[in-house]
Every structure is written in C-alpha cells, then in structure tokens.
Structure 1
Amino acid sequence: MSEKFSPTLRIGDLSDFIAPSQACVVSLKGIKAPTRKPDKPEVLISNKHKQKLKIRKSKVSLPMLSSACPGWICYAEKQLGSYILPYISSVKSPQQTIGATIKNHLCQTMGLSPEEVYHVTVMPCYDKKLEAARDDFVFQVESEDGIHEKEDLRITEVDSVLTSGEVLDLIQLKAVDFKALEESPLDKMFTNVNEEECLYGVAGSSGDYAETTFRYAAKTLFGKELSGPLEFKTIRNSDFQEVTLEVDGKTVLKFALCYGFQNLQNIVRKVKMQRCDYHFVEVMACPSGCLNGGGQIKPKPGQSPKDLLQALAGVYMENVLVADPFNNPLVKTLYDEWLEQPGSKKARKHLHTEYHPVVKSITAQLHNW
C-alpha cells in the first residue's frame, strides 16, 4: 500500500479505506442525481428572514449525509448512485466554499480578475486534489484584453492543493529555520482567527457538522440550549458514535458520526433498506476522521499513530475559541456584503453543488477486469 496513506490505514484492514480514482473528477453533465421525493424525509436548513431547521418525518427516517469528504463522495458517485445521492448534502466542502468566495467576492472587492489570483489550499487529504479538479468547481468568466476578441475563461475555484505532509517536505527541502525568521503580523484576511489569535470554531477532529447542526436543531426546534460537550455514545467502535435529544421521554433528534469504510457500509445498507433512523450523519472516509488523513504528517520514530492523533487533537484545542459558528462575524459579513442571506440565489450558486452517478467507461471496465 502506498506510503502516502496514513499509518493507521497502512497497518489496518485495507477494506477500511475508500480508494478514489481519476473518475472522481469527471462531471457527467447529462446525468444528474435525482431530486428527493416529496414522501421521503429530509433535513433542510431554511433561511428566509430567520433561520429555521425543519425536519420532516414519515414512517421511515432517512438521514442527511454530510459531504465534506471527497473520498466518500467519489465512492457514492461510483458505487452507490441514485439511491444514496439524493440524501447527500449539497453544501460544498470548506475547501471549495473558500475557493468560490475568493475567486468571486474577494476578487471583486479588490478590483482583481479571477484569473489574476492563484489560490492554494493546505489539506490533510490527497483526495482534495481530485476534488479541486472536478468540473463542477470550474466556472467561466468573460475576458477581453483589448487585442483579442472576447473569450470565456475557465476559472478553477482552487488552483493547487498541498497536503500538510507536502508542506513539511517543502520546509525541509528549503531548510527553513523558523527560529531565525523575523516576527510579522498575522494576516487576518478571510480567516477564523479572532483578535486574541484563537481559532473561531468548535472542537473536533473533522468537520464537526453533526455537533453544530445538532445544537442548532435542538435550540430552534425544541427550545433546548445545549451547553458543554455533547454526550456522544460509542456504538460499534470509536469511529461510530451517536447523540440523541429526548423531549418528554421521546427521542426527537438522532445524529451520528460515521468514519471509515466499514462503518459507512453499515449506514449505506440501512439507507438502502429504508431502516436508517438517523436524521443526520457526519461522514468521513478515513478512520478517526481528517486528523488521520492520508496527507497528514506521519508519526515520529517510536510514536504510534494513536499517540500522534491524540497529540494533534490536544494542540488543536489549545488554540480554539469554542464559539457558535452561526455567530461568526466573518460569515455574517460575507452574507451582508455578497450573499444577501442563507438560501438566497447567490448562496445556492456559489456555496452548493450537485453530485452525479459515474458511469464507468469501457476502458475502465476492461482495466478492472
């Protein structure tokens, strides 16, 4: 197995890794994921004047599946197709969201053309390189240089993706001595760092979508202000956990964290059989989530993967200001200056996407055979 994969994946069961391929970057424009049928339950975030999260219920409760993990998306498009794609959240990943913001809003604010900006992201995962290359995250702008005729330029939201491991390789290649570098002010353009230089966000080794949405749903739907850490209950293993909210002795919210391919297969099987009773599932292809991404820095000699994960989580929490993401001033500014309001036409255009069933080519089928 490639040395680029995380240590936990290399020493563990190979079946617990979703291996993407170049097919993940292909956008089949003629094939679209079917829309959700009216009689099927769904989780919707509606934002007209006041944000409300609505949960429609029927006899069978099917989940909304978070979609920030490109490995999971690739697997769903290639292997699962139409019966699972309607339940995947259409919200873009953080990488593509910031890419769309920079190439559209920031360029306009600074009086720049999108082609004048080269956007590089640092990610914990090699799959993010494939995500950035998808046709779905390329848009066209009209350009005129005064000499040639007008032409449409294809602009990518993200131009290059480096993994954290590759960044370390570059630092070592250039023999950078951080202790000898001169101190300089922190660049706070489009950042979640507050005045105290703490990250504005929530705890967690991955996206933390389940916790954020759970707290918001509890507050807006049932008037429950949840303070302190949520009590996630381990079901099968540490990579499959759930949290519930009870009102008057009845479970009204049921969310789950599902990391790793083996756990994902159980969720997919339940959805297919219409026996999944979760309202929301945060999905990550890598066991232990993004901290264990294939592009992360590897453990030092004598350090176990588990020890490294614990150390990373500890360092992260040292500099995190736990705050409600819905009160993030940066996000509020983007809506006030650009997107108007959550759920608006502009927000749907720039912050949402579609997923497509991937039909294997004859060449790919012969190769697999």
Structure 2
Amino acid sequence: MSAILSADDLNDFISPGVACIKPIETLAVQKPEETINEYEVTTEDKVAAAQPPPPAQISLTDCLACSGCVTSAEAVLVSLQSHTEVLTTLDSHTPLRAPWLAQNGKDVATKPACNGVCHCTNGNHAEGKLFVASVSPQTRASLAAVMSVSEEEAGNMITQLLSGPSGLRSGGQHGSDFTWVIDTNVLREACLVAAADEVATALSPSTAHPAAIPDADGAIDTTPKKPILTSACPGWICYAEKTHPYVLPHLSRLKSPQALTGTLIKSVLSQRFNIDPSQIWHLAIMPCFDKKLEASRSELTSEAWLPASHSTTTSSPVRDVDCVITARELLHLAAAREINFSSLPRTPLTTSHRIPFPDPKLDAFLFPRTRARNQIGPAAGSSGGYLYHILQTYQARHPGSTISVSRGRNADVVEYALTQGPETIVRMARFYGFRNIQNLVRRLKPARASKMPGARTGAVRRPNGAAGGAGGGEGVKDYAYVEVMACPGGCTNGGGQVKVTEVEEVRAMEGVQVANGEVLPSKPGPQEQKEWLARVDEAYFSGSEAEAGVDGDGDREMQDADGPSPVQQVERDDDVVGGISRSRIHDMLAHWSHITGVDQQALIYTSYRKVESDVGKKKQSDVERVAGLASTIGGGW
C-alpha cells in the first residue's frame, strides 16, 4: 500500500477523500433574529456554511477504519511515525534508567514501592520514559548490502547507534538513548511455534467449525477456517478488511513479531517496574511502511492485555508499538544527529553497557548468548518462514514423509505438498504480491445464491484457469495454509528498504568503500533492482547458522523448480523443528502469562474486523430514515 511513500518525499498538497469517514461539520448561517420564521422549513441542501471549514485532522487509526479514501492522504500520515518523531520524543523526555538503582545501595527496580517516577535517586520524574527498540532481520539485511558488511555487523551497528556511547546518547537535549535493542528474530520463533499450534488445532478433526457468525468473523476467540491465511503482513490485512471481508474467518489470529514484541515489552516492564505503560516508548525498525499502520491498530494496545485492576495515568489505551521507522529512515535518523552510520563500531556493545532485562528467564530468551539466527534457508522465503516451519512441524510428526515444491504461474506463487507414499498429508502455498493476492481472494469468494425461486446455489464465475491451485491443480480451498505477503519477493523487498536507485547516493553520503570494487549502473532499472534484491536476500539468509546447501534443521535446501522436487526428511527430535525447541517456547509463553497475570490468548492473539464504507452507495434521505424508524416500532404513515 505505501511501498513508495516516505515522509521526506512529500511535496504535494494532500487532502482527505470526498467520502472520508471524518466529515467536517458545517453549521447553518444564523439569520438575524427578527427575520427568523419558525414555520419555515430549511432543507439540508440549502444550508450554507457560516465560515470556511477548518482543515481535516486525520490519524492513522482513522485511515485504518476507512475504505473510502480516494486520494493519497495516507502519505501524510507517514510523517506521524518518522525519524523526526523519534528525535523529538528523545529530546522531550528524560530517560528512565533501568535499574533506577539505588536506595541505600540496594537494587529496588523490581519492588512495587519504586515505580521509576518517585523515590528514585536519578532525578527521573513523571515526564521520563523508558526507551526500547526492536529491529527486524530484513532491515539488517538491507543495511548490510548497502554498507558491504555482514548481516551480524549491520545489527551491531544499529545497536551502537541506538544504545552505544557514540550513538544517540552522545547528543540531544537529555542524552536519551534506548535501554534495550531487541532482535525480533527471537519473538519470530515464538510466532512460528504458535502458528504451527494454531494450524494443527484448526485442522484437527475434533475442532468444530460452526456456521459463520458475521459479527464474530475475525474475533480473537474464534478458530480460523481452512485455508488459514498468514496475518503478519499489515498491507494484506488492510486490503482484506476493506475490500474482501469474507476472508476474515480464514485469517490467522496470531500477532506479528512486531506486535508480539511490543506486547511483551510493555506488559512485562510496566508490571516489573510498576510504571504506567505510557512511560515505555517502543520503537520498531521494520522493512515496510505498512508496519506503521499495524502499530496504529486499536486492537494492538494496552486495552487488550492490561488487567482491569491496573490503574493508569492515561485515559486512552497505550499502543504496544509507539513508532515505526524503516531502514532508510534509520539512516536519516543518524544523519540528523550528525552521526556517520558507516563509521559506527561493528562489534557488539560491551558487557559494561548491557543492562539485564528485569526477568532472568525473559532476559535469557530475549538476549541469548549466541545471537538469534534466521535458522532458515531460501526455501523458507524472506518473510519469516511461517509456511516452511509449519510444514516442517508436520513433517517431523510423519517420519519418512517427503516435501515437494512446485512453482506456480510466477516466482511469487509456490505450492508445497507433504506426501508419504501415495498419500498427500497436507498442501500449502505461498502467494506474494497483490497481483497474486487478488487471484487468491477471488478463488475464496463464496458462491452467490441464485435469485431464481427453487434454484440451487450458483457458482462464482472465475477467470479462465482460475479454478486450479498454484500449479493449476486443485482449488485453493484444499490448501491447509497460505503464506500471504503484499510485497513481491517478500519482506526483504519492503517499501522502506534501500532501493538500488538510492544505493550510490547513500554510500557517497556515508563514505562507504566497497571492497570488491562494485559499481552500480548510473540509471538502474527493474532488472538491476531484481539483482539488488538478490544481494539483500543473500545477506538475510547469511544470518542462518546452517551450512551451505543445508537449512537450519539439517535438511537439504528445497529449490524452486518448474516441476515437483522431492526433499527427503532427516531424522530429528520431534520437539526441535527448524532449530527451534517447541517446549522452550511454550515454557516461555507460560512464564510470560504467569508473571503478568494475563491469559496467553490476550497476549499472543488479536482480532480483525470488517471495514464498512458507504462510498458509491446512495445516501439515505431523511424521509427514508424516518420511515424505516417508524416501521421498526410498528408505526407508519
């Protein structure tokens, strides 16, 4: 949706669409009292405004609740979450240092009596904030390709910028920086295990799927229907909610790694430090602008998990993610503070700069001794590997089974099948890019009932050849799971990543010296962008601990092919799938729920809703509204 938008690119006047859900109130011109005729009827179309209406005020939340905007109004909303907003927030609030040490030489950080606001020795007060950041692996891969460093070194440079002595803390009004920088890969592992559990539960023969209730479609406490569709891509979610609400029962209820990280940060820190969630400020660094929309969803706030007994200083719910910026905006952030990003240390922060997370078990999970790796190969895709991990989980439960992969009509449509002899255990597919997504949702559209009396339900008309699956076989409704992402090529190709047309400019600005003497064309085109994306993907997959030609769990990599390419399973412990211990993740989730007193469902799942719009619909007149009201109460004319 916002693939090419950046706050720095705005140079046009943007206004809301004519059918915006936030209409501007217009008042009738008040006639002089002596001329008012109390028997005169003034129709709505004759009412004139007393004065020019004020400018419309639109927020990201409003945009998410509207499907009628016909202008580029979303672009102006990007500026609400930008590197400028990060710097403004850092300069407007004194940092809450954790642990806020020290009364009589004793650590009181986890005692309810000390809330980080009062009774503290470092001078913090009600305006202070605890700053925490989370970074996606796709962002690290983009910067790694630009700076000609490894993905791990790029991650260290980001941490040095946000938390290191030569980073943000070296400037600004208060010397504020980020207390923790979390790799979203660790929360991605929790998402993968939870996604596999959700699919297994939904497809279990014992799971009942009652008739769909319109108001419950997409509710947090409902079980998704087959085929289950990935919910980690906010561009895809907005598209589904606004244009194809019939797919909502199919959406996975699982939060994305960004959202899950935000929930964990604010729920745990507010409970352990006894501070209001509004005093915790979470910055997420993501590959796409649509993640800004996800952060603004009303479902992803403290209202979903904060116990009713917990008093807050704010009247409105607090967002789990306060601000989202991209790789390009991160470079702007460094430049605004006159920090040369390429000159930042490429090594991790020293132990003297590290502050333990306030729960030992979660500290070991969020900051493992060995850095969290992707644990996936190219076969899993560049968007987190949801489908691949679920497929591996099924494979681990069926020893001797094989996985085959076949390419669909283009490289962004891929079909997977797990077979054991002649039996097909499960089928899944990957659909990337809106062109392919449109074909997917078209095939999921329910059949229209015939209006002819006594006729049977009619079938939906489909384009020629659309009845088949990714490879022209069975229909998409036979898939158990579909990984859906809005960006062609997946998340490494997000709109916030550094594009090939910007690489030379960024390198010149940062003084990057390319070791291999690489020279990009002066006017790169689509083919050069494709080649550049391959380099970003290479950096992304280099974060895996796997050996060349072998993916994270020891299987040989699956290669896309025009025809089926079987991959034989290797014996493994059923608990460890793709290098991820399922029992360890379940234990961590149970511990998180226990220490916060919040049910796991409220912590890791979310909900979706149909977005109503009256765009293009005939506006009901006053007479029709009155007649409808009269008929409902038994009256009439």
Question: TM range, normalised to the smaller chain?
Answer: 0.7 to 0.9
Deviation at 1:319, TM superposition (A): 2.3
Q: 1:208 aligns with which of 385, 404, 410?
A: 385
* Per-residue CA distance 1:214-247 (angstroms, 9 max, x = gap): 1112223x34577xxx653211111000110112
Deviation at 1:353, TM superposition (A): 1.0
* Per-residue CA distance 1:186-240 (angstroms, 9 max, x = gap): 86866766433352543331121000011112223x34577xxx65321111100
* Per-residue CA distance 1:56-75 (angstroms, 9 max, x = gap): 579xx941001100111011
d(CA) in 1 for partners of 2:238 and 2:282? 23
Structure 1 letter corresponding to 2:4: K
d(CA) in 2 for partners of 1:52 and 1:334? 20
Alignment of 1:227-306 (within 5 A): 231-272=404-445, 275-276=475-476, 277-299=478-500, 300-301=503-504, 302=521, 304-306=528-530
**Structure 2 counterpart of 1:339:** 593
Deviation at 1:365, TM superposition (A): 9.9
**Structure 2 counterpart of 1:80:** 244
Residue 540 of structure 2 corresponds to residue 316 of structure 1? yes
Deviation at 1:315, TM superposition (A): 1.3
Contact 1:168–1:297 (CA under 8 A) maintained in structure 2: no
Q: 2:350 aligns with which of 185, 188, 193?
A: 185
Q: Secondary structure at the match of 2:428?
A: strand
**Structure 2 counterpart of 1:197:** 371
Q: Secondary structure at the match of 1:137?
A: coil
Deviation at 1:263, TM superposition (A): 0.8
**Structure 2 counterpart of 1:172:** 335
d(CA) in 2 for partners of 1:339 and 1:23? 31
* Per-residue CA distance 1:307-354 (angstroms, 9 max, x = gap): 2211111112222233636417874553242236xxx97221111111
Contact 2:3–2:288 (CA under 8 A) maintained in structure 1: no
Q: Secondary structure at the match of 1:233?
A: strand
Contact 1:233–1:241 (CA under 8 A) maintained in structure 2: yes
Moved more, 172-181 or 131-140: 172-181
Moved more, 207-216 or 102-111: 102-111
Deviation at 1:4, TM superposition (A): 2.7
Deviation at 1:144, TM superposition (A): 6.1
Contact 1:27–1:356 (CA under 8 A) maintained in structure 2: no
Structure 1: stretches of 5+ with no match in the other structure: 7-20, 29-42, 146-150
Structure 2: stretches of 5+ with no match in the other structure: 7-59, 68-193, 209-224, 358-362, 448-474, 505-520, 546-551, 554-577, 620-637
Change (3 A) 1:176 1:206: same
Structure 1 letter corresponding to 2:581: N
d(CA) in 2 for partners of 1:246 and 1:182? 45
Q: Secondary structure at the match of 1:161?
A: strand
Change (3 A) 1:180 1:138: closer
Contact 2:395–2:401 (CA under 8 A) maintained in structure 1: yes
d(CA) in 2 for partners of 1:365 and 1:193? 56
Residue 102 of structure 2 corresponds to residue 63 of structure 1? no
d(CA) in 2 for partners of 1:25 and 1:239? 27
Structure 1 letter corresponding to 2:544: V
> What is the root-mean-square deviation of aligned Cα atoms in Å?
3.7
How many residues are paired up? Answer: 320
Residue 64 of structure 2 corresponds to residue 25 of structure 1? yes
d(CA) in 2 for partners of 1:365 and 1:307? 49
TM-score (structure 1 length as normaliser): 0.74
d(CA) in 1 for partners of 2:382 and 2:233? 13
Q: Secondary structure at the match of 2:599?
A: helix
d(CA) in 2 for partners of 1:332 and 1:195? 20
Q: Secondary structure at the match of 2:291?
A: helix
Q: 2:603 aligns with which of 350, 356, 361?
A: 350
Deviation at 1:131, TM superposition (A): 1.0
**Structure 1 counterpart of 2:311:** 143
Deviation at 1:262, TM superposition (A): 1.2
Identity of counterpart residues, as a percentage? 30
Contact 1:62–1:271 (CA under 8 A) maintained in structure 2: no
Contact 2:3–2:496 (CA under 8 A) maintained in structure 1: no
Q: Secondary structure at the match of 1:253?
A: strand
TM-score (structure 2 length as normaliser): 0.45
